[in-house]
């Protein structure tokens, strides 16, 4: 299904949204080698856990990211060229040094932590923060940089703020030390997770893509759903669920799969603004889809102190519900406008697709199996990378044996083909890690300021006083804060920020209701933090399709050639489930497998899932304007009311919502039956 024009479009679109240079010549080779070394370093370290101290691994990890960011990305879009100017080469060298300063002076810094740091330590700290923020601005966008700078200024000048948000006065030395020379800031948990787990999963995704798995997943999605009503849109939903979880960015996933799915959606009749909205809505859902959840699952496990597999388990049903909602939305839109699917000739044969790539599923199942049986995520993904390598070698040899004699590759040619593929995968993996590494490091600044000043608890206490002792206002305040903090920020950093700043408000409320201090409450209720963190995470990710700053939707509009704000509104409507599912699992945490055990709990979970699906059906009926047939304005309003009732925690209210939805469905069925009966008969061909 891929062709050269589509690949070219993806590259052009990526460059449109970033300052990435189209490098060529010797500098392109240098970048290629550095990126491949980046991946190789982490594979070696991951295959032998504990080989190096994490202080050194974090330092080297950031050094690679800073070096590559200044070589690959220009300081502004207008100055992109296929060569790297001398000043960026100098920045790459100095950036590498300031990051490696921790490694080069590791023993001395451990000693100076007790007796006092030197002037050079503070100078390097200031340079390190400045270089990190400039690299983040180039690679990601200014939003995260602005947030980080505001937090730094708060740490320094927060003492002059009146009221509950005031904090003690800190000197610049204290701020620099905390953010760069300790494990509380830039080199804290976020960068640790990026260096330990995330990079390896990105490399794993690069190996899958380079060896053909990406094409297999997209072809499988089209073969499975392409011929149905509005098939290409449904294929976009399935392929984005499969691919989006690895990318770590809604925008990256939109530009990767959207160049294939959006033109096909337009071809079968979807309006450009709707076609452009489907892909970002589905791609955003990929960020909440286990097992990787846009790389945020690892950070969440570290923050909460729970096994990684527990986060995967918690994310299963919310992600399924979200994609059910997106699937229903595109189905309703297709039926409302009478859209067809792809023809048999346009759709890959599912049997042939499965035959051509069933083995690509093995590495994914291998990861899950190894995690469940007790392997660390690092070893699980390293072994899965090796399995991809083995599968590709076997496939390449098998394919070569089946070629006609005159087309067969020699042993040297085959070896070269395999080696080039693997080195390309290593390089792509290294380049793909830059965004996440910088986002995690910059988010570490925010985490560092929060731990230094106690800002998260201050905001939580302020929200508690505003709420008047009720949970719903706390949830709305947390939702708004998460949406604002998540705008324009990649998934991993997005979660770190929202979990640090917004989620504590919910936890403080829960502890206050229990009449216990926060620490004691969490000690007695170890899983209480999981729904709060998932709530903030969901809304942080939803910022990518929330107008007015809906970056994923704008990427979709660029492919579709549609008006950006209309596309963002459509993406918001299609992904509306992401705005109601978090409220459901806060009030009924059994959806996250919290407190699940008895048969009664399992029945309760089944009932919650049923009511949740019905609520999603109802809200899509209201936003799209179709249920069993087209809905008028009154019916749409009643659908939205029914959805609100169905997500209520009270069973009596749920039943009222069920009754209302049932009544609407009955009237819709009657309306459709009457319209069919009164419709003029279709003439047979030839008359």
| pLDDT digits 0-9 by tens, 304-338 | 988 888 998 999 999 999 999 999 998 998 889 88
Q: Report yes or no: 251 and 559 within 8 Å, Cβ to Cβ.
A: no
Q: What's the rounded mean pLDDT across residues 202-230?
A: 84
| Residue 535, φ and ψ in degrees, nearest 5 | -60, -50
Q: Which of 40-44, 51-55, 146-150, 633-637 has the lowest mean pLDDT?
A: 51-55
Residues of the chain with pLDDT > 70, as a percent, come to 93
pLDDT beyond 60 at 681: no
Q: Cβ atoms within 10 A of the Cβ of 430, count?
A: 29
Q: What's the rounded mean pLDDT across residues 641-650?
A: 93
Angle 585-588-594 from CA coordinates, rounded to 5°: 85
pLDDT beyond 80 at 502: yes
**pLDDT tens string 79-126:** 566 789 999 999 999 999 999 999 999 999 999 988 899 999 999 999
Q: What's the pLDDT band for 182 if we cut at 50, 70, 90?
A: very high
Residues of the chain with pLDDT > 90, as a percent, come to 51
Q: What's the pLDDT band for 269 if we cut at 50, 70, 90?
A: confident
CA 440 – CA 154 distance, rounded (Å): 20
**Whole-number pLDDT of residue 91:** 97
pLDDT beyond 80 at 68: yes
Across the strands, what pairs with 556?
none
Q: Report yes or no: 645 and 353 within 8 Å, Cβ to Cβ.
A: no
Domain boundaries, the chain: 4-180, 192-432, 596-671
**Whole-number pLDDT of residue 430:** 95
> What ranges make up the beta strands (E) of 408-540?
none
Q: What's the rounded mean pLDDT across residues 487-497?
A: 84
Q: Report yes or no: 129 and 180 within 8 Å, Cβ to Cβ.
A: yes
**pLDDT tens string 337-352:** 887 777 788 788 889 9
For residue 668, which of 618, 615, 623 has the smallest C-alpha distance?
A: 618
**pLDDT tens string 114-146:** 889 999 999 999 999 999 999 999 998 788 899
**Whole-number pLDDT of residue 679:** 59
Higher pLDDT, 583 or 14: 583
| Residue 86, φ and ψ in degrees, nearest 5 | -60, -35
Mean pLDDT of the chain: 87
**Whole-number pLDDT of residue 600:** 65
pLDDT beyond 50 at 11: no
Q: What's the pLDDT band for 1 if we cut at 50, 70, 90?
A: very low
**Whole-number pLDDT of residue 243:** 67
Q: What's the pLDDT band for 602 if we cut at 50, 70, 90?
A: confident
pLDDT beyond 90 at 42: yes
pLDDT beyond 60 at 228: yes
Q: What's the pLDDT band for 50 if we cut at 50, 70, 90?
A: low
User: Highest mean pLDDT range out of 60-74, 255-269, 378-392?
Assistant: 60-74
Q: What's the pLDDT band for 302 if we cut at 50, 70, 90?
A: confident
**Whole-number pLDDT of residue 8:** 42
SS3 call for 630:
strand
Q: Which of 56-70, 272-286, 611-625 has the lowest mean pLDDT?
A: 272-286
CA 192 – CA 28 distance, rounded (Å): 29
């Amino acid at each position: 299904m891929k062709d050269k024009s589509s690949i070219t479009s993806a590259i052009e679109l990526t460059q449109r949204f970033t300052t990435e240079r189209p490098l060529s010549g010797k500098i392109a080779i240098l970048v290629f080698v550095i990126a491949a070394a980046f991946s190789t370093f982490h594979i070696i370290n991951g295959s032998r856990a504990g080989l190096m101290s994490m202080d050194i691994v974090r330092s080297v990890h950031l050094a690679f990211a800073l070096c590559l960011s200044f070589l690959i990305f220009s300081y502004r879009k207008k100055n992109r060229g296929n060569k790297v100017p001398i000043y960026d080469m100098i920045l790459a060298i100095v950036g590498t040094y300031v990051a490696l300063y921790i490694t080069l002076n590791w023993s001395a810094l451990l000693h100076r932590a007790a007796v006092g740091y030197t002037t050079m330590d503070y100078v390097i700290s200031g340079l390190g923060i400045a270089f990190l923020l400039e690299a983040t601005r180039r690679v990601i966008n200014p939003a995260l940089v602005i947030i980080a700078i505001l937090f730094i200024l708060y740490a320094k000048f927060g003492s002059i703020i009146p009221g509950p948000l005031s904090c003690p006065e800190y000197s610049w030395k204290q701020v620099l030390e905390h953010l760069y020379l300790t494990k509380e800031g830039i080199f804290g948990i976020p960068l640790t997770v990026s260096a330990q787990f995330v990079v390896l999963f990105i490399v794993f995704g690069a190996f899958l893509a380079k060896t053909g798995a990406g094409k297999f997943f997209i072809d499988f999605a089209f073969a499975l759903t392409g011929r149905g009503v509005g098939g290409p849109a449904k294929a976009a939903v399935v392929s984005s669920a499969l691919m989006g979880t690895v990318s770590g960015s809604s925008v990256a996933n939109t530009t990767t799969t959207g160049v294939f799915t959006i033109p096909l959606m337009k071809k079968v009749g979807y309006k450009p603004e709707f076609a452009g909205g489907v892909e970002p809505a589905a791609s955003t859902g990929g960020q909440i889809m286990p097992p990787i959840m846009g790389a945020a699952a690892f950070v969440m496990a570290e923050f909460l102190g729970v096994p990684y597999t527990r986060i995967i388990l918690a994310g299963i049903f919310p992600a399924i519900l979200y994609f059910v909602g997106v699937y229903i939305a595109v189905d309703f839109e297709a039926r409302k406008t009478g859209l067809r699917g792809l023809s048999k000739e346009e759709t890959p044969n599912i049997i042939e697709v499965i035959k051509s790539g069933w083995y690509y599923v093995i590495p994914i199942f291998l990861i899950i199996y190894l995690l469940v049986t007790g392997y660390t995520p690092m070893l699980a993904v390293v072994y899965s990378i090796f399995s991809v390598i083995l599968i590709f070698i076997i496939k390449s040899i098998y394919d070569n044996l089946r070629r006609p004699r005159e087309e067969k590759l020699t042993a040297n040619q085959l070896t070269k083909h395999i080696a080039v593929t693997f080195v390309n995968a290593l390089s792509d993996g290294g380049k793909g890690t830059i965004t996440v590494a910088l986002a995690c490091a910059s988010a570490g600044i925010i985490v560092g300021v929060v731990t230094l000043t106690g800002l998260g608890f201050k905001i939580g206490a302020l929200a508690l006083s505003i709420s008047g002792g009720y949970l719903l206002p706390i949830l709305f305040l947390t939702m708004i804060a998460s949406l604002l903090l998540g705008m324009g920020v990649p998934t991993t950093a997005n979660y770190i920020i929202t979990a640090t700043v917004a989620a504590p408000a919910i936890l403080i409320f829960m502890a206050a209701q229990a009449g216990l201090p926060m620490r004691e409450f969490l000690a007695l209720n170890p899983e209480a933090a999981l729904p709060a963190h998932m709530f903030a995470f969901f809304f942080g990710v939803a910022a990518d399709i929330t107008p007015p700053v809906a970056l994923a939707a704008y990427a979709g509009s660029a492919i579709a050639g549609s008006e950006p704000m209309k596309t963002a509104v459509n993406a918001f409507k299609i992904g509306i489930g992401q705005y109601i599912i978090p409220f459901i699992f806060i009030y009924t945490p059994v959806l996250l497998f919290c407190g699940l055990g008895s048969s009664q709990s399992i029945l309760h979970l089944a009932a919650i899932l049923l009511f949740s699906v019905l609520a999603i059906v109802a809200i899509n009926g209201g936003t799209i304007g179709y249920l069993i047939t087209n809905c008028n304005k009154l019916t749409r309003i009643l659908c939205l009311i029914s959805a609100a009732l169905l997500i209520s925690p009270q069973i009596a209210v749920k039943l009222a919502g069920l009754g209302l939805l049932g009544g609407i469905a009955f009237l819709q069925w009657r309306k459709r039956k009457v319209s069919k009966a009164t419709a003029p008969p279709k003439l047979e061909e030839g008359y």
